[in-house]
Structure 1
Amino acid sequence: MTTDFPEPTRISVNGVELEVFEAGRQNAGNPIVLCHGWPEHAFSWRHQVPALAAAGYHVIVPNQRGYGNSSRPAEVTDYDIAHLSGDLVALLDHYGYEDATFVGHDWGAFVVWGLTLLHPDRVNGVVALSVPYQERGEIPWIEFMEAVLGADFYFVHFNRQPGVADAVFEENTVRFLRNLYRKNVPLAEPQPGNALINLARAETPLGESVMSDSELAVFVSAFASTGFTGGINWYRNLDRNWRLLADVDPIIRQPALMIYGDRDTVARAERLTEFVPNVEVLSLDCGHWIQQEKPAETTEAILKWLARRDAPCT
């Protein structure tokens, strides 16, 4: 890692072991849990951890199952929303916390939304980056994407052709991550095939790197060790998750902050306030890797929202 990022500990929770990074232990009683996305790592929160700890929070940053030195179960179904949210609940239990504020980026945001639906009493606030609350809809998510976006769309490809993309990413780990973690990427016409497989094989990266070579090396080292299948298995549970959430109250009642990147390709939620009535929405001038592209602005936005949320009523 770097000298500024905490040393990890391994914690047994929910039938797995999670690699967990902590800061601000002196602030016990005021927890905030940061949840990474794909293909990411707890290290993606390196810019936010010191500031949150300095602001009085016990900052808990797990590598979720499938990532880093956390467990990587073999069964695909071990990565559904029940297991992923169960890990976070068990993490709270480990520390003796009834509830916490949860921050999630990308897939981490999807997990935090799902956690809040399945275990609303364990979440006192939500901060989501990039990925808004997903309406359940009438059709399972992968089926819907396949009908609208086609078989080559990466969500669909991961499900319909298991193992194919995993192998390409593993053969091209350095190139894939180097080409993926970019900002200010010029718009281009879509090419035939799976866009992420094409990216993993592209000789020349576009735009500018989101991180330094030494920072990127942390991600490369992690995925060179683990491969990509654990993280991709999260995608392979989307339709299972759709079924698991069938009978859950779909309204998020906790205070929430939704941070979008103006240049992100992830679609915004047109009816967000119908499902998350206590949400504030903010946009930053960046792409998908929000907390790494705009670290100071992201940190400031989170801290200001936390201060407003926690301010005494007058």
Structure 2
Amino acid sequence: EAALLSLIPVARPEFIQDIEDNKSRCVLTALWVITLADEDLKEAIWGDDSLLQGWLEDFKPLLEMGEGDKVAQQVKRHFQQLLTHQRVVAQDEEALGRCLFTDEPIAFKNTISQATGLLGVKISAFSGRDNRPELLTSDKPHTVVSPVSLAEHKIHHEIQGGSKDGVPTLIYSPTTVGLFGGLILNTDMAAKSLFDLSRLEAKKGSVLYGHEIFQGRLRLAKLERLSDKTKDQVTQLRLLLTAARRTGRPFHIFRGLPTTQRAFFYYDAMPPLLKKLLGANALRLEQLPQALKQVELAQTFLENNNLGYEVLNRYVSSDTRLGAICLAWCVLEGKAS
């Protein structure tokens, strides 16, 4: 290597000089010398579709890529389009399949299975979901998910961790509201939990008072695991509504892929019982006080041993609401027989 370099009047490139592995450095040095001797070989060795491109970046056009490699290639292509301000297009816009999450065209035969490990995604033969074919003549499931959605769903769970049966939920709120909303912000970049945004009692942790609640750069685009138990779901919904009122900022909660919403408070996967309680999963700002009262009433039902889930279930239905209110009044007044 030293003898070869002594015969060449041109200095070896620094990126080759810095390679610590002797064999790799010698091979690259030899290839560099070849390009000096023959300019026609320069593109074949150093170009975009060259020998080194395949060697260093592991591009194997003659070998079939595994599923993981295909997903990685699609995700890379997706973000390249976003970063270069191009229109995001599917790999095959004429494909017959449709992604369960985004409705993106995808190969009809590219189905997922139980081994794919998409938590919370049903793969049974009959699920009644939109964009999901159901064949009466076959008991085999047919659920199609695009590679980008597959990667995002798995990364969500990997970041959050925890129970395999749970699906992490994205709690999102914009940093500022209004044209001049950013002028009041300070340098505080601490992430706040739902408890910090909702509680009034001054204990350990961050408690927000009055004016300074609008000064912090609250980072709320985070993943949290929301409970599957009704009682805990009611508590978490109360915290979310309280935080939205105290901060005066929109709160959007997504268990699926985020979408653009105009509502002040939006919860895409709100449990059916709570959706019936509030009347909708999307609320305007002026609807928050009444919604909060309804949630607090639901907490009263669940925390009283003589009421519980059954009375709450009767209360959320307009047909049985009056009877549930009468029963709750009797129990709380101590007049139940």
TM over 0.5: no
TM-score w.r.t. the length of structure 1 is: 0.22
Structure whose alpha-carbon radius of gyration is higher: 2
TM-score w.r.t. the length of structure 2 is: 0.21
